[in-house]
Structure 1
Amino acid sequence: MIILNMKNRNKSELNSMKKFILMIVALSLLSPAYAQGRGGKQVKQKVKVGKVFKEQNIESRKVVGFAKDISRVDLTTRISADLIKVGFHDGDLVKKGQMLYQFDDIRYAAAVKNAEAKLAEVKARLIYAESNYKRTNELYVKNAASKDSMETTRSTLDACRAELLAAEASLVTAQDDLKHTRIYAPISGRIGATNYTVGNYLTPSSGVLATIIQSRPIRVVFSMSNRDYANMFGGREEQLKKEALIRVRLANGDYYDENGTVEFINNEANQRTDTIQVYSRFENKAGRLIPNNAVTVELSHKIGKPVAAVLPSAVMHDADSPYVYVVKDNKIERRNVELGRTTGAAQLITRGLAEGELVVTDGTHKVLPGSEIIPDYGTGKVKNDGVK
């Protein structure tokens, strides 16, 4: 029993010794800025460094938007007649002024002639009434005609003048009806399928014949938060129109090859979402933006603001803050920073660094604050390797 206890004790002491040796090794690894040279002399570590450079900070936001037509027309008929011709194919791109529907106009052409004849008749009677009144009035002044005769001729003249107005109005109505026996495109755009074909008798109650939608140009409508509106563009519409760059990404992920411009913003914010609607305009020459399609809108500034930037490898994180190691007089100093967006080759720093300062770009695990190093500046351009 005594021998067994001695063996267990020796084994325990051996394990304790191993743990102590491992701890010494770990502590030596945690102090990597120096290595032991001959005679115990500490040697400085060589680490890569680079200078802080400038990069354009272009703030951007991604939101969902919808393509909306600028103009839409529902075609209807104002007359009752047989449809005798359709001047387009379903889905055609039509031009303003193009004839789309033609109706039988026999009755309406006859109505115009009848109104013209009535107008001519009334004009002839008016000429006679004016002459008759003039003669009667001259006789009345000479006491050669009675007052009743004079008033009768004047009443007839006034009635003829009223009939002339009515006849002119009837002619205008007849001409307007005749004009509407043909329907022309009021705008340029794409027309949908016709709801009626040749041979149908249509009336004003027949409803929509077809719809024309203008999609060149087209609008893309999206919402942006009031916070972004204030922070990015100062909460001013004119600044938004001048500085905003609007791009859209289609359903397949491709960017549309046109940029949009801000037309206007809505006259009120959405109380529930605290957003405001922005109406942008695209020429849509390729016609790839289709009304009511959903797109991804990328809203940014045309020109960014220059800010400090470093290589992404220079940035470290802990529970307190993102930070970098700044090199001053070959000594390491920890510097907490505020991060901006990340590009492919740079991490933007919105606060904490200035252009030209020296930071560790590679080998951050080899140094600690306060340690002294040998800077390795490397070669190449600033934006490629972070050094000048």
Structure 2
Amino acid sequence: MLFVTRHFIATVLAPVLLFAVAIPSAQAQDVPPIRVGTVKMALQPINPAKSFVGRVEAREHVDIRARVTGFLEEVLFKDGQVVKEGDLLYRIEKAPFESALSRAKGALDQARGQSAFADEQLARATELMKTQAVSAAVRDQRLAEQLTAQGNVQIAEANVQNSGIELDYTEIKSPISGLIGRTVVTKGNVVGPDHGVLTTIVSRDPMYVTIPVSQREFLSLKSSDRGAVRDLLTAAIQFSDGSSYDHPGKIDFVDVSVNRATDSVTVRAVVPNPDGRLIDGQLVKVSLAIEQPVEKILVPKSALIADQQGIYVFVVDGDKASVRRLKVAGQSGTSAIVESGLSADDQVIVEGMAALRPGATVSAYPAATPAKAG
């Protein structure tokens, strides 16, 4: 009986055990592939950038001074406001200059009257000399008097012109458009050419950024044509808080000589400043692409994974996820520059990596944001 029971148990349990062993295998075969987004790698031209410290400078910088001496009647702007070329900034008391202009005009009329009289006297002496009624000496004296009178007219005309200019100088106007600084004088003070700068105006769009580039870095350019150098160089600006400026700069000037004190060449970029974020005198970090473009593989930084062994990415190998160890050399925009570890046409996984494991079966689709050169 015992033998029958054991045989019966063995006979019954054997298919059950076989079924139990078969279940995991069937379940493993039924696991669906992981959906992943991929980017196809390709060689892209990039300019390796190097960082320098640059200084922002206004293209136009004007110190406003009084050109005549007088009492200041009005200050017609607010500190820090935007002004346009021709805007009235200060008004100096006009009355003394209007009086001086009137005197100058009176003196001119007087000189013209004397000149007309001298012309008549010379003409009369010339006619009388023909009949020998007057001597040549008298005629010569009348000629000298005429020339003197004509000279006095010219002097009087110049005085009128100068008085008019000085009267115009009582209204101090902005010679450029830009931001005006703080006024150092107020209404009621005496101002004049010897009283220094009244305020300062700086233009604000576009701005210059001057960058001292070491001679060693400058020589890395593979062109002796200065025009070509300007075409090659581009400037990306970053503020002291680490934020990036939206508008890239265009190099417009490379100095003709090396600064002996610093052994550097001054490079200047013109940068748009429509929002006024760049301020005259500001220090910024400037990334210059100073080498010829080279072709490199760029991989989105979102695809990079780091562990104790370094940096790696997942790639699609057939229908499996495979690990590729990378050596990177900096960044270009939102992508990392790959020195080794990837080849053109590799499909790098950039989406769906949360549950991904090496060797996992995957189903790939093109990701929406391919890597681009920055």
Structure 1 163/196 Cα, relative in aligned 2: closer, same or farther at 3 Å?
Answer: same
Aligned position for 1:217? 206
Q: Does 1:94 align with 2:78?
A: no
Q: After superposition, give the CA deviation of every residue in 1:100-139 in whole Å (9 maximum; x if it has no partner).
A: 1101111110111111111111112211211221121122
Map 1:242-253; keep pairs closer than 5 Å.
242-253=231-242
SS in 2 for 1:267: coil
Alignment correspondent of 1:68:
57
Is 1:170 the counterpart of 2:150? The answer is: no
How far 1:146 moved relative to its partner? 1.4
The structural deviation recorded for 1:149 is 1.6
For residues 296-320 of structure 1, the C-alpha deviation after alignment (integer angstroms, 9 at most, x for no partner) is: 101127993324689999xxx9xxx
**1:286 is matched with which residue?**
275
In the TM superposition, what whole-angstrom CA distance separates every residue of 1:67-86 from its partner, at most 9, and x where no partner exists? 11222111111222111111
Mapped to 2, the partners of 1:139 and 1:62 lie a distance apart of 90
Q: CA deviation at 1:237?
A: 2.3
Unaligned stretches of 5+ in structure 2?
1-39, 310-326, 347-359, 370-374
1:148 alignment partner, SS class: helix
Say which of 270, 274, 292 aligns to 2:259: 270
Question: Whole-Å Cα distance in 1 between the matches of residues 72 and 162 of structure 2?
Answer: 21
Question: Residue 190 in 1 paired to residue 179 in 2?
Answer: yes
Q: 1:126 to 1:52 in 2, by over 3 A?
A: closer
Given candidates 55, 58, 71, the residue that maps to 2:44 is 55
2:226 aligned with 1:232: no
Alignment partner, residue 42 of structure 1: none
Offset of 1:99 from its aligned partner? Answer: 0.5
Deviation at 1:249, TM superposition (A): 0.8
CA distance in 2, matches of 1:220, 1:285: 15
Query: Counterpart of 1:241?
Result: 230
Deviations 1:8-60 (A, max 9, x none): xxxxxxxxxxxxxxxxxxxxxxxxxxxxxxxxxxxxxxxxxxx9952333211
Q: Which amino acid aligns with 1:209?
A: L
Identical counterparts, % of pairs: 25
Number of the residue aligned with 1:111: 100
Q: What SS is found at the alignment partner of 1:276?
A: strand
Matched residue of 2:57: which SS?
strand
Could you tell me how far apart the structure 1 residues matched to 2:364 and 2:65 are? 71
Separation in 2, partners of 1:254, 1:266: 29
Equivalent positions of 1:18-167 (< 5 A) are 53-167=42-156
Q: How large is the Cα RMSD of the aligned pairs?
A: 3.6
Q: CA deviation at 1:227?
A: 3.2
SS in 1 for 2:204: strand
The reply to whether residue 208 of structure 1 matches residue 197 of structure 2 is yes
CA contact (8 A) 2:235 2:287 kept: yes
Contact 1:237–1:264 (CA<8 Å) still a contact in 2? no
Which amino acid is 2:249 matched to?
G
- CA–CA separation in structure 2 for the residues paired with 1:216 and 1:81: 34
What secondary structure does 2:175 align onto? coil
Give the TM-score of the pair, scaled to structure 2. Answer: 0.69
Could you tell me which amino acid in structure 2 is paired with residue 90 of structure 1? D
| Partners of 2:162 and 2:265 in 1: CA distance | 47
Contact 2:75 2:90 in 1 (8 A): yes
Three-state SS of the structure 1 residue aligned to 2:129 is helix
One-letter amino acid matched to 2:98? A
Residue aligned with 1:263, SS: strand
Alpha-carbon distance between aligned partners in 2 of 1:345 and 1:74, rounded to the nearest angstrom: 46
Q: Is the 2:62–2:200 contact (alpha carbons within 8 Å) kept by the matching residues of 1? A: yes
The alignment partner of 2:257 has SS state of strand
CA separation in 2, counterparts of 1:309 and 1:203?
63
In 2, Cα distance between the equivalents of 1:173 and 1:355? Answer: 77
Report deviation, 1:197. Answer: 0.9
What is the number of residues matched between the two proteins?
297
Rounded Cα–Cα distance in structure 1 between residues aligned with 2:167 and 2:121: 37
SS in 1 for 2:60: strand
In the aligned structure 2, how far is the partner of 1:111 from the partner of 1:380? 89
**Partner Cα separation in structure 2 for residue 346 and residue 107 of structure 1:** 72
How far is 1:270 from its partner?
A: 2.5
Q: Which residue of 2 aligns with 1:258?
A: 247
Residues 92, 341 of structure 1: CA spacing in aligned structure 2 closer, same or farther, 3 A cutoff? closer
Cα distance in 1 between the residues matched to 2:156 and 2:329: 78
3-state SS of paired residue (1:113)? helix
Summarize deviations over 1:139-180 as a string: whole Å, max 9, x none: 212322212221121111011011111111211221111111
Cα distance in structure 1, aligned partners of 2:79 and 2:345: 65
SS for the counterpart of 1:100 is strand
Structure 1 residue runs without a partner (length 5+): 1-50, 318-337, 358-375
